[in-house]
Amino acid sequence: MFPLFDFSLQINGFPMQEAKAELQKIQSIPEQEFEAFIENKKKEIVDYHLKNNSSYRELVGKTTFDTWNDLPVMTKKDFQKPLIERLSTEFSLKKVYVNKTSGSSGDPFIFAKDKFSHALTWANIINRFGWHGIDFNSSYQARFYGIPLDFIGNRKERFKDFLTNRFRFSIFDLSNKVLEGFLNEFKTRKFDYINGYTSSIVLFAKFLQQKNIVLTTICPTLKVCVVTSEMLFEEDKILLEKQFGVPVVNEYGASELDLIAFQNSDGEWQVNSETLFVEILDENNTVLPYGKEGRIVITSLFNKAHPFIRYDIGDIGILDKKSTPKKPILQQLIGRTNDIALLPSGKKSPGLTFYYVTKSIIEDDGNVKEFIIKQTKIDTFDIEYVSKTELNQEQIQKIEAAIALYLEKGLIFTFIRKEKLERSKSGKLKQFISLMK
């Protein structure tokens, strides 16, 4: 088959052959030499931006640096100015890849990558999917994503779907009638893999569970399911593997950076050490050892067009104690720093704790399809849910008791049944939302 995917990137100015060769070269560096490679790349990228990027130079406050830990931690707030003011001198808007973050963290911004850096991102993604027998030039993707609803944006995205050999399931309406249509597509199309937002794919799996259908019985070509952009809970992974009949792979990435971590064939969440340097920092910006929970801070080692150096992505996680410079392992992704619930006692708790505790009870009987939790006041939470029947008093009391046990007593909950939950423009479902200022 003609390599249409690679060709479409190449004709858009992304040097894929060079990027693939560079990735191969990096991957061939022995473990004992890898730390020196990383240190060299860190110094190179900082020196480059101090020399060529006035915005970064202004942030650092000088033209040289002594130690890595002296460098400031960048946040999304540092990017709230026109892109042209953040570009390095060697680049113009016409010579870079430009995109916008989804804004799931509350601070969307436009960013740039030089074309070689973006080609490296794709080389990395192609490499990781290849671990699971997926070839972007020939494998057929069932894509569970949002899509622009305006005519031009929609046509553009559909054309990209054609070039990249994927069929898109629009996830803005996930009623049973629509899911029945999804199922019919799997009966007639030879999909090789599923890729998309976790919550939408889980909802499809629950639909299959109700119908007592394992997806590979009607679509035997299916090999793997890759979920991204939202938390994957262990019980959801079990459900997906049972109802799809294929392994489920967890992906963690950020459009402004690269693929950050991808589950390998041993089930480990392997961090991308080829193009990124990942640190875990505490609230004082001190580097934490492997095994400790903290803020995920990432440096893009190759992006010369726009600095992402010690960039706080807004997530909390833990690097496994068995990590090495060449093969860091993400032990756990805990949630976003802006998803922290502040409770009346002064305790801070990741919002996903509420979601996790509630989820373990609310879904026991399969009645509830999905739900989100909103904190409206310091002691008050709304739980919006989609279900066949309304929650009964016994279920509500169980949830309240579990939250009192795991978090604290005296919290007020309102349960609101809905026809469907509100998703972001991109189609993501935000599982915990704090409305407190």
Cβ-Cβ contacts under 8 Å for 60 (sequence gap 6 or more) = 50, 71, 72
pLDDT band for 437, please (50, 70, 90 cuts): low
Which carries the bigger pLDDT value, residue 108 or residue 264?
Answer: 264
Token pair, residue 338, equals 């802006």
pTM of the model: 0.83
Give the mean pLDDT of 81-106: 83
Which carries the bigger pLDDT value, residue 7 or residue 261?
Answer: 261
What does the pLDDT read at residue 260?
96
Side-by-side strand order, sheet with 432-434: 412-417, 380-387, 368-377, 432-434
**Residue 103 scores a pLDDT above 70:** no
| Listed range (36-50, 78-92, 131-145, 333-347) with the worst mean pLDDT | 333-347
| Other CB atoms within 10 A of residue 80 CB | 10
Percentage of the chain beyond pLDDT 70 is: 93
**Residue 104 scores a pLDDT above 70:** no
**Residue 101 scores a pLDDT above 80:** no
Give the mean pLDDT of 391-408: 86
| Listed range (15-29, 41-55, 144-158) with the worst mean pLDDT | 144-158
List pLDDT tens digits, range 327-341.
Answer: 999 999 887 655 678
**Residue 106 scores a pLDDT above 70:** no
| Other CB atoms within 10 A of residue 405 CB | 10
For 21, 191, 203, the CA distances from 178, given in Å and listed in that order, are 43, 18, 12
List pLDDT tens digits, range 283-327.
Answer: 999 999 999 999 999 999 999 999 999 999 988 899 999 999 999
